[in-house]
Amino acid sequence: SIGTFQAQGDSAVLAGTGGEIQVRHPFSTSVVSLACNITPKGRLQQMAALLLPGYSEQKPFILEIRGPFASPHILINGQKLPTFS
């Protein structure tokens, strides 16, 4: 189980709301479930305004990573990002 966490850098402030990692054998079948609130700064904030539908500087966007390590689902504000094989 992963508790809450925070990190701050030049480009963003990240606040993890918790999650879980289940390590399995083989490792590629291990599962992750993690959510973070990301508040972009500087250039990243400008890019977010252009690339994320509905993004507002008034609140962070939500990044979620869920599923098996071999092919996790990545979501931003609930929208699944396309994956590439």
Mean pLDDT by 10 residues, the chain (85 residues): 92 93 93 94 87 81 92 90 69
Q: Is the dihedral of CA 44, 6, 63, 74 positive or negative?
A: positive
pLDDT for the residue 84: 64
The model's pTM: 0.80
Task: Say if residues 65 and 72 touch (Cβ distance below 8 Å).
Answer: yes
Predicted pLDDT at 35: 95
